[in-house]
């Protein structure tokens, strides 16, 4: 059975590739369970000799790590919802409504995609200071609401929805808003999933802006908190890895639950509506 043995080789190869790809994560967990003196040593051990949760206790005890997770969650969820609420109507307008200046406006918005965020930081910081909302979660949310790529994805999808469906609604006497809510939004659910997932991931992983905008450690996001945790623990690798595990666990759980939705959602980016 030549074919059979070839298959076995392929499976082994695949398992090997999976193992390599997943190994960094395994190593992160293993390191976090060791004592520091077992990590910084020339005597290499793979598995922890005395497995310990000490690093986790320390991480929870000495920082606001739980609070940071909640902050990140709040920021990400709020950003996700409002991004969609802002993006969907304008994407619909770009796709289906013929109004003067539409094309120019569209390209202006798309150009926003290419703006390096560093350009905006100083002006934004001064702006938010004058509003008196610097150092609040709100300040971490607002600049991230305008997500041009979301508009791009939604517009592509909405363009593919047959105009006949809309016209039928108009004939029934529905207005724009009603048509949008009753027909376009339900049909565009797949694209909507993509946009909210992208918005969520973007917000969750945001680093530079919250680093500058938020100065009280209670209000840190998890990315900023972990960077700070790492910076203040220098070479305590086991401790740093414990922090990394805590920071990534919620993401991992979130991903495993919505795995299909997330992957299919991102796949949408590449498909024409």
In the region spanning residues 201 to 240, those forming contacts with other proteins, defined by CB under 8 A, are 201, 204-205, 207-208, 211-212, 215-219, 222-224, 226-228, 230-235, 237, 240
Applying CB under 8 A, which of residues 8, 66, 113, 165 lies at the interface with other proteins?
113
The answer to whether 152 contacts other proteins (rule: CB under 8 A) is no
Question: Least distance in Å: CB of 119 to other proteins?
Answer: 4
In the complex with other proteins, which residue's Cβ is closer, 52 or 127?
A: 127
CA atoms within 13 A on the CB side of 160: 12
Residue 260 in contact with residue 185, Cβ under 8 Å?
Answer: no
C-beta atoms surrounding 53 within 10 Å? 12
Question: Least distance in Å: CB of 171 to other proteins?
Answer: 9
What CA–CA distance (Å, rounded) separates 254 from 262?
10
How far from 51 is each of 3, 43, 247, 255, CA to CA, in Å?
45, 16, 20, 27
Q: Which of residues 154-193 bind other proteins (CB under 8 A)?
A: 167, 170, 176, 180
Q: Which of residues 12-51 bind other proteins (CB under 8 A)?
A: 14-15, 17-18, 21-22, 24-25, 27-28, 31, 39-42, 44
Residue 124 in contact with residue 143, Cβ under 8 Å?
Answer: yes
The answer to whether 242 contacts other proteins (rule: CB under 8 A) is no
Q: Which of residues 247-266 bind other proteins (CB under 8 A)?
A: 247-248, 251-252, 254-256, 259, 262-263, 266
Candidates 273, 119, 117, 67; CA nearest to 189 is 273
The CA R_g of the chain, rounded to the nearest whole Å, is: 24
Applying CB under 8 A, which of residues 53, 85, 165, 168 lies at the interface with other proteins?
85
Question: Least distance in Å: CB of 9 to other proteins?
Answer: 12
């Amino acid at each position: 059975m030549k074919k059979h043995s070839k298959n076995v080789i392929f499976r082994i190869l695949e398992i090997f590739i999976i193992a390599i790809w997943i190994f960094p994560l395994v190593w992160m967990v293993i390191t976090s369970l060791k004592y520091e003196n077992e990590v910084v040593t020339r005597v290499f051990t793979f598995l922890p000799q005395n497995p310990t949760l000490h690093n986790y206790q320390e991480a929870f005890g000495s920082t606001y790590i739980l609070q940071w997770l909640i902050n990140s969650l709040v920021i990400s969820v709020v950003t996700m919802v409002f991004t969609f609420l802002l993006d969907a109507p304008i994407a619909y307008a770009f796709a289906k409504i013929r109004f003067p200046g539409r094309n120019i406006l569209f390209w202006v918005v798309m150009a926003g995609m290419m703006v390096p965020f560093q350009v905006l930081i100083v002006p934004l910081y001064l702006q938010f200071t004058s509003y008196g909302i610097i150092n609040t979660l709100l300040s971490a949310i607002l600049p991230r609401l305008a997500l041009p790529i979301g508009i791009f994805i939604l517009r592509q999808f909405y363009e593919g929805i047959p105009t006949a469906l809309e016209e039928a609604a108009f004939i029934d006497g529905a207005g724009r808003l009603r048509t949008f809510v009753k027909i376009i939004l339900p049909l565009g659910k797949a694209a909507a999933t993509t946009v909210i997932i992208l918005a969520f991931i973007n917000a969750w992983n945001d680093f530079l802006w919250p680093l500058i905008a938020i100065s009280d450690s209670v209000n840190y996001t998890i990315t900023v908190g972990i960077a700070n945790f790492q910076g203040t623990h220098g070479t305590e690798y086991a401790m740093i890895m414990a922090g990394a595990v805590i920071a990534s666990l919620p993401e991992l759980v979130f991903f495993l639950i919505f795995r299909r939705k997330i992957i299919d959602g991102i796949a949408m980016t590449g498909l024409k509506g």
